[in-house]
Structure formats: C-alpha cells, structure tokens
Homo-oligomer: A and B are copies of this chain.
Amino acid sequence: MRKLTVVILTLTAALLVVFVLSYRSAGAQGSSYAEDRALIEDLQARYMFALDFRDIDKYLATFTPDGILDIGEGEMKGYDAIRKAVGGMPKETPAKDAPKIRPAAGRHNISNIVIKVEGNKAYGRAYWFHYSNPQRNSATLDSFGHYEDEMVKVNGKWLFSKRRIYNENVDKWATTPGVNPCW
C-alpha cells in the first residue's frame, strides 16, 4: 500500500510540474500570438515616441545590436551606424529670429499593423504617416509610406532586427506601385 501511495503521489507531483511549466510558458511569458503581437505593438509605438522626441538612446534600444535600418538608401547596420544617421536629424528648436515661438512639433504614426509570428522571429507590415504644426495652431499631414519589418525575441523582449521604410514622397524611396507588400 505505501508503495502504491508513493507512485500515486509521484505521478500527481509530476503532473503538477508539467501543468505549471506549460501554464507559465503560455500565459505571462508570451508564447501566444496575442502576447507576441501585444509586445510588438508596444515596441512599434515606443519607437515613434523616441523618434519624434529625439530620444536617440531609447530609439536605438528598439533594435538588436546588429539591427538594420534602411530608409531606401541602403542598409545601416548596428547602433553606431543608426545613431549617426538618426542622431543627425535636426532638433525642433526655435528659429534664431523667433526665439519666443515654441518649436514646431512633428509626429510619426503607425497604423494597419500586420504581424506574422514564427517562434522567436516575426515579420511586420504597417502604414506610417506624419503630420506637423508649422503654424502652431493647426495641423498638416505631410508624408506617408509603409514599413517592412523583421523582429526577434531576445530574452522575452521583442526588438527590430530590420526595419525597411518606404516613403511615398520621394521617387527612390517609394514602393513599387501595384504590388501588395503584405501576405
């Protein structure tokens, strides 16, 4: 009888271990499509705040160390290359001759987010558009395009391994007309 009880308890314990492990990996640890997509959407939104508010360190932190940014001029790879390109963007400071006017604000927005997840890799397609307030009391839509992204999950965090940006304002940055870049 004791032997049997040991067998039963051992099996019960084993089952509980299997259950808890599986539960953890499914729930809070992000192995479902919803969990991965939620984390990637958050990444994509934080990227925009960092970009528009010139927070270059947080911007870089959305990429892997060997991440690639390509705005249509070839691939920039790694933090140093991206920092050089993006860090050189003009800050929104007041003009010298108009020191009392606050700087204009410009904002990039992401929409129509499509995400395909394959294990620790993900592929994204999304639209972006940009508006600004050169007159300070109104708003002007000024450009748009789309993203083609690759993301990887590193230690439970999703990061861009590659972001290719298409911009419909400039011939050589525009996408091929009539070809759906999405699946």
Contact = CB atoms under 8 A, between A and B. Distances in A.
Contacts of A182: 46, 49-50, 53, 55, 58
A131 to B, nearest CB: 6
Interface in A104-142: 105, 107-115, 125-127, 129-131, 133, 136-142
Interface in A19-62: 19, 22-23, 26-28, 30-35, 37-39, 41-42, 44-46, 48-50, 53-55, 58
Given A32-B34, A33-B35, A34-B32, A92 B177 contact: yes
Interface residues of A, number: 81
Chain A at the B interface: SS class: mixed
A168 interface: yes
A171 B105 CA distance: 12
A15 interface: yes
Interface stretch (A5-13, A63-71, A76-84): A5-13
A87 interface: no
A3 to B, nearest CB: 8
23 contacts: A1-B4, A5-B7, A7-B8, A32-B32, A32-B34, A33-B35, A34-B35, A34-B37, A34-B38, A37-B41, A46-B182, A53-B178, A53-B181, A92-B177, A93-B177, A93-B178, A102-B174, A102-B177, A109-B127, A109-B129, A136-B168, A138-B143, A139-B143
